[in-house]
């Protein structure tokens, strides 16, 4: 009997290793390979912060479209960069110069001092390493042995989600900010509070919207005083470093505020309303609410109220049961996608709910049904669903008919936003069941 069990275990491990190799191949083709192919056109999500950091070093305005055009890293610029920087529509149409805070520039300095062709390769490797760091951190947070069957399943799931592929293929800063937040949370659980504070500050400096769930988690954690003291100290040093090159030179705040206003204006690239032809790329709740409410302010207020309600329910459960675990982080990562601007790449935060669900399914406890529901709701994120629906709506008759139905804009096209909301509700219900069980046992 023992021999048959060992044989079965080895066979399962072999199959999982084979599957992991195939998934790594898919991950490589859909992520890093696509990213490096874009170097020919010299346009991805990293080119803007790269050039903005170079502008920051020289004391020029890092948020001025004309400066971005002047400092473009290759002799051949995309035609739209030249024309749209001259007429001032570059921020509204392309989202560049990117609205990253100046605190990100000191962290990007090691890349900005490199020539573009080298920097883009180094950044590609950094993004891939960041994904592996996320896998390592989430495996340890799940309390799973790294080289176990469950550890391999979690590793495979990290590499399977389409938002991760898209983030790497577009050279988006999301992967690095996500990795910093995950490793910071791991350090927090290991009582390395000061290191957690430093890493959390770096994540906030790079992309505050991605760092939000990890910040909330740290603020509720019992080691929050040590974490926040370390974070504040690091933040002051980082802010000082960001201000020094600009001291007495170009005033960049007006450009920063003007760019943000243009990017989120009706019909602009970051607008959640149907006036923006690319609104389907967003996953925040606004994009699903606007077609129903038909009012931008109502959509913003409703999304904020939904997030406040979810956060209040979670805090109520935490107050009764102070032990924070992977389930709490899963709730925060899913809920934080709803109230503020997030593109499809940021949906990689759903890795945390997926890993929690996989662990619960493996343990087979009373939360197994909630875990199964969570996995089913997360399955559509294995593909870029909204993009596929949009691109093929005019090709296939069935999709063409659906695109003309009244359910297309409020439910079908923004289905990812609704799925995220449902995942959060399922996780909250599971959290309250855990709380009720702990109270009953007490």
Structural domain spans, the chain: 264-442
3-state secondary structure of 269: coil
Chain segment 285-326, per-residue pLDDT in tens? 999 999 999 999 999 999 999 999 999 999 999 988 777 899
pLDDT value at position 7? 54
Q: Which pTM was predicted? A: 0.93
Q: Which residue has the higher pLDDT, 235 or 140?
A: 140
pLDDT, residue 321, reads 74
The rounded distance, in Å, linking the Cα atoms of 168 and 171 is 5
Contact 229, 197 (CB under 8 A): yes
pLDDT of residue 351: 97
pLDDT-wise least confident of 32-46, 153-167, 336-350: 32-46
Q: Please tell me the predicted confidence (pLDDT) of residue 400.
A: 86
Q: What is the C-alpha to C-alpha distance for residues 281 and 433, in angstroms, rounded to an integer?
A: 34
**CA quadruple 178, 32, 282, 317: dihedral positive or negative?**
negative
pLDDT for 344 equals 97
Query: What is the overall mean pLDDT for the chain?
Result: 89
What are the pLDDT digits (tens) for 125-140? 999 999 999 999 999 9
Output the pLDDT for position 40: 45
Neighbours of 76 (CB within 10 A): 9
Predicted confidence at residue 442, as pLDDT, reads 47
Average pLDDT for 368-373: 96
- Within 13 Å of residue 81, how many CA atoms lie on the same side as its CB? 22
CA 285 to chain centre: 15
Strand partners, 282: 343
Among 86-95, 163-172, 200-209, 351-360, which is the least confidently predicted range? Answer: 86-95
Question: According to the model, what pLDDT value does residue 38 have?
Answer: 63
What is the helix (H) or strand (E) element at residue 328, kind and residue range? helix 326-335
Q: For position 352, what pLDDT does the model report? A: 98
CA distance linking residue 306 with residue 338, whole number of Å: 8
What's the confidence (pLDDT) of residue 77? 78
Q: How sure is the predictor about 118, in pLDDT bands with cuts at 50, 70 and 90?
A: very high
DSSP letter for each residue of 175-189: HHHHHHHHHHHHHHH
Statement: residue 386 has pLDDT above 80: yes
Bigger pLDDT: 376 vs 12: 376
Binned at pLDDT 50, 70 and 90, residue 439 comes out as low
Q: How many CB atoms lie within 10 A of CB 431?
A: 23
Can you tell me the distance from the alpha carbon of 402 to that of 398, in angstroms, rounded to the nearest whole number? 6
Structure-token pair, residue 182: 């995950």
Looking at the DSSP bridge assignments, the partners of residue 343 are: 282
pLDDT at residue 48 in the model: 93
Read off the pLDDT of residues 1-47 as tens digits, 9 standing for 90 and up: 454 455 557 777 778 888 889 999 999 998 888 877 765 455 789 99
**What is the spatial distance between Cα 201 and Cα 83, in angstroms, rounded to a whole number?**
37
d(CA 237, CA 244) in angstroms, rounded, equals: 11
- What is the DSSP secondary structure assignment for residue 88, as one 8-state letter? T
Sequence-distant (6+) residues with CB within 8 A of 67 are: 55, 60, 61, 97
Report the pLDDT value the prediction gives residue 3, as an integer from 0 to 100.
46
Q: Is the pLDDT of residue 274 over 70?
A: yes
pLDDT for 165: 95
Answer yes or no: is pLDDT of 149 > 80: yes
Segment 145-169 shows an average pLDDT of: 92
Spatial distance between the Cα atoms of 176 and 158, rounded to a whole number of angstroms:
14
Q: Tens of pLDDT along 78-102? A: 888 889 988 889 999 999 999 998 8
């Amino acid at each position: 009997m023992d021999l048959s069990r060992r044989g079965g275990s080895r066979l399962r491990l072999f199959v999982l290793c084979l599957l992991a190799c195939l998934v790594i191949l898919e991950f490589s083709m859909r992520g890093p390979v696509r990213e490096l192919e874009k170097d020919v056109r010299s346009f991805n999500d990293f080119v803007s912060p790269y050039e903005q950091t170079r502008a920051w070093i020289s004391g020029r305005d890092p948020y001025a479209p004309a400066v971005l055009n002047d400092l473009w890293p290759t002799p051949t610029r995309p035609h739209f960069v030249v024309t749209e920087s001259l007429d001032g529509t570059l921020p509204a149409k392309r989202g560049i110069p990117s609205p990253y805070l100046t605190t990100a520039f000191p962290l990007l300095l090691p890349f900005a001092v490199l020539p573009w062709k080298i920097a883009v390769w180094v950044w590609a490797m950094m993004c891939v390493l960041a994904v592996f760091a996320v896998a390592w951190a989430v495996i340890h947070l799940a309390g799973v042995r790294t080289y176990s069957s469950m550890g391999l399943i979690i590793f495979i799931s990290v590499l399977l989600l389409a938002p991760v592929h898209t983030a790497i293929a577009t050279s988006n800063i999301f992967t690095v900010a996500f990795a910093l937040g995950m490793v910071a949370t791991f350090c927090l659980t290991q009582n390395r509070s000061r290191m957690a504070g430093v890493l959390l500050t770096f994540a906030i400096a790079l992309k505050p919207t991605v760092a939000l769930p990890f910040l909330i988690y740290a603020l509720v954690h019992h080691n929050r005083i040590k974490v926040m003291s370390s974070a504040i100290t690091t933040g002051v040093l980082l802010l000082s470093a960001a201000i020094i090159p600009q001291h007495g030179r170009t005033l960049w705040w007006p450009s920063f505020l003007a760019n943000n206003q243009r990017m989120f204006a009706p019909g602009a690239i970051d607008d959640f309303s149907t006036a923006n032809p690319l609104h389907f790329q967003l996953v925040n709740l606004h994009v699903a609410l606007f077609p129903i409410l038909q009012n931008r302010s109502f959509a913003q207020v409703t999304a904020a109220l939904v997030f406040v309600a979810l956060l209040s329910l979670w805090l109520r459960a935490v107050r009764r049961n102070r032990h924070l675990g992977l389930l709490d982080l899963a709730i925060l990562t899913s809920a934080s996608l709803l109230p503020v601007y997030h593109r499809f790449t940021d949906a990689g935060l759903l890795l945390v709910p997926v890993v929690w669900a996989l662990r619960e399914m493996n343990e087979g406890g009373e939360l197994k049904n909630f875990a199964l529901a969570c996995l089913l709701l997360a399955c559509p994120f294995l593909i870029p669903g909204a993009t596929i629906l949009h691109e093929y709506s005019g090709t296939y008759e069935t999709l063409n008919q659906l695109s003309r139905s009244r359910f297309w804009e409020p439910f079908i096209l923004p289905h990812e936003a609704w799925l995220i909301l449902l995942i959060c509700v399922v996780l909250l219900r599971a959290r309250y069941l855990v709380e009720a069980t702990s109270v009953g046992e007490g």
